[in-house]
Chains A and B, each alone.
Chain A
Amino acid sequence: MSSMQSICLGINYRTTPVELRERLAFAGGKVPQAVEEIRRLPGFAESVVISTCNRVELYAAHSHEHSETAHKALLDYLIQHFQLQPEQAEALVCYCLAAEETARHLFQVVSGLDSMVLGETEIFGQVKQAYKVALGAGTTGRELNRLFQRAFNVGKLVRETTAIQRGSTSVGAVAVDLAGKLFDLKTCRVMLIGAGEMARVCAQSLLSRGAKSVIVSNRSYERAVELAAEFNGTALTFDQWEHSLHEVDIIISSTSAPHFVVKPEMIEKAMHSRRGHYLFLIDIAVPRDIDPAVNDIEDVYLYDIDTLSEIAEEGRRERTRQLTLCNRIIEEQLEKFGRASAYPSSGDAPSHSTP
């Protein structure tokens, strides 16, 4: 037996398809039991389990002479816990990280560098919650406490000193960001012209950020009623939406009409009644629903699907550009943490291997 060392065994969206990730996910209520079971494995003293839709990672502190033995024990535990068939166990691809790589990987995870959406913030809270559960179950000790607490500091540092979480990376998020720069979203009323899926996603994003109400108008009134009910909003027949233009702040259009549905004269008329309030139009349709000349009207801001996609793409590129800087910060922090490795990170996924 030697001194305590931390290790990590995990699967994520890169290594494992969603069907198997679902199978290996620890239900929230089962995590305290799982961390306790891992801690009781021979040679183990501490454990934390991170289980999200994109990853399942077991962190542990062990006193085995070789980390391979500890990894094998964790893998066996995973297979037994989820009662995997031999062929499933055979097909399972995990990453097994020893002490230095474990710290680097955790720092990258909490910084959002290992996430499907680079720089996303949700993972920070998820790791924090996982640590809190383990702390509550009494399965953390000196080794993992030190590792996780440092990881949270590094995560904050990376997010504060780089632009890794700046901008948006999806069309829905871009629409919400733009709306937030124009309005106090809590007072915003949204109108959907057409009931396409992308429009539904955008409206859902706006509602989740506090938008006040939704009006849905669609050629098929039944579909409008159905979607309005989903948002607890109001449905309008397709010949009525024009009369309500002045009442809303955001219009999301996604009809399948082959011509412009929203014309400058309609918006000009609505703007007279709005008395200096802005109007934000999102045109998700192809071919476009809203005449681009609408953007020339005072206090009117029009974005079409190409512009939104381009902004989202630029957001993704910007975050990718930040990767080098983020990894440099992580390497500096690893150095300070006393875990500097001879193999600096390239910013890619952890190496995949089975023990």
Chain B
Amino acid sequence: MDRTLLILATLAFLGGLVHAIVSLRAGTWRENRWHWVPMAVGLVFQTAFLYLRGQQHGRCPLTNLFEVFIFIGWCIVLLYFLVGATYRLSLLGVFTAPMIALLQGLSLLSSLDKSVPLPRGAPNPWLEIHAAVSLMAYAAFALACITGVMYLVQARLLKKHRIHGLFYQLPPIHELAKAIQRLAMLGLLLLSAGLAAAFPLHLPVSNPKLVFAWVVWGMYLAINVIMWARMLSARQIAWLAVVGFMVPLVSLWIVTAA
């Protein structure tokens, strides 16, 4: 049942993507609220899936890599609704949808969804807060990455004088640059909060999950400093947001798989 919900969510994201591509190709894409519908439907199914899993486990559904990926996907869509509305970037959904669909599709096809023995007793709330908030930070980094891709596409169209189709639909690059900066900052703040929540757990300093989380935190701190001090060009910053996201993504894979 819960996997069916996830399949429906993936189909909703794919449906939204197909509609967007068809509209963009026909030149009839307009910024309006209807573009949010497939994303909202997908979010509802994702939420239902996570709720059912949470009920099954009696704790936050982050017990294996499969659930972690779905949780990150859920956070990305949630943040998309907050950020997309703020920056009037409904086209962000077009770039977000394939990422979520791919993440969920691969998760569904893989053998990542294995049940693991859970510790007895009530879960430690600090552990749950630490995991959930840290993954939310990763979702913010993912959105910064997607916005970075949009920036790079738009900047290239402008530089190469390809003024047609997608150029008119993509937001101005100054808005995209601002969105990247704020998403990277939001991610850093969330990750800081997630790491702060780990202090009461008294985990050993050598705990691999914590080590990787601090590496990611340090890297995004550096990226934020570079952004705010304007040490690099806007295009280079967009590249940082895109390439930088590979670090949390890969570290998450290594840590959770281990």
Contacts and interface: CB of A to CB of B under 8 A. Distances in A.
Interface of A: 160-163, 166-167, 174, 177-178, 180-184, 275-276, 278, 295, 298-299, 301, 303, 307, 311, 314, 318, 322
Contacts of A322: 27
A181 B158 contact: yes
Interface in B188-238: 230, 232-237
Nearest to A183: B174
Contacts of B27: 162-163, 166, 318, 322
Contacts of B163: 167, 174, 177-178, 311, 314
A298 B164 contact: no
Nearest to A166: B168
Interface centre among B163, B164, B232 (most CB of A within 10 A): B163
Given A161-B28, A166-B27, A184 B174 contact: yes
B52 interface: no
13 contacts: A161-B28, A163-B27, A166-B27, A167-B163, A178-B163, A184-B174, A276-B232, A276-B234, A278-B174, A298-B233, A301-B158, A303-B161, A322-B27
A307 B161 contact: yes
A160 B31 CA distance: 10
Given A276-B233, A276-B234, A299-B234, A314 B164 contact: yes
B164 A167 contact: yes
Give me the 9 closest cross-chain CB pairs, A-B, nearest first: A163-B27, A276-B230, A298-B233, A275-B230, A181-B172, A311-B163, A299-B233, A307-B161, A301-B158
Nearest to B177: A276
Interface residues of B, number: 22
A311 B233 contact: no
A119 to B, nearest CB: 12
Interface centre among B26, B172, B230 (most CB of A within 10 A): B172
B interface majority secondary structure: helix
A299 B235 contact: yes
Contacts of A298: 233, 235-236
Contacts of B164: 167, 314, 318
Nearest to A187: B174
Contacts of A160: 30
Interface in B26-44: 26-28, 30
B240 interface: no
A311 B173 contact: no
B250 to A, nearest CB: 28
Given A166-B27, A182-B174, A314-B164, 4 more contacts: A167-B168, A181-B167, A278-B234, A322-B27
Given A163-B27, A276-B230, A276-B234, A180 B161 contact: no
A275 B230 CA distance: 6
Contacts of A182: 158, 172-174
B147 interface: no
B247 to A, nearest CB: 23
Given A181-B167, A276-B233, A295 B28 contact: no
A303 B233 CA distance: 20
Contacts of A167: 163-164, 168
